[in-house]
């Protein structure tokens, strides 16, 4: 199952990103200029930065299991 989020990285063809929760190691907040973003760290040293709030991301990832 994939969980969909809003990619905060600009310049992609789409702002949607789908992440497999089984590949997530940790979730944490970061500051980017003036806003707080949520970073999702996964296996293989992959990090995705999304616009959703930290607690929303954690809840959505936990719902998928």
Q: How far apart are CA 35 and CA 19, in angstroms?
A: 22
- Model's pTM, two decimal places? 0.88
Q: Are 23 and 42 within 8 A, CB to CB?
A: yes
Residue 29 sits at the vertex; the CA angle it makes with 26 and 35, to the nearest 5 degrees, is 155
Q: Please say if the pLDDT value at position 4 is more than 90.
A: yes
CA distance 38 to 33: 13
Q: How far apart are CA 22 and CA 32, in angstroms?
A: 26
pLDDT in tens, 12-56: 778 999 999 999 999 999 997 888 999 999 999 999 999 999 999
Cα–Cα distance, 32 to 64 (Å, whole number): 28
């Amino acid at each position: 199952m994939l969980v969909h989020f809003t990619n905060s990285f600009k310049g992609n063809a789409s702002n949607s990103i789908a992440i497999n929760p089984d590949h997530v190691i940790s979730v944490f907040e970061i500051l980017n200029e003036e806003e707080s973003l949520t970073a999702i760290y996964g296996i293989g040293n992959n990090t995705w930065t999304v616009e959703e709030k930290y607690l929303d991301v954690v809840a959505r990832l936990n719902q998928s299991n």
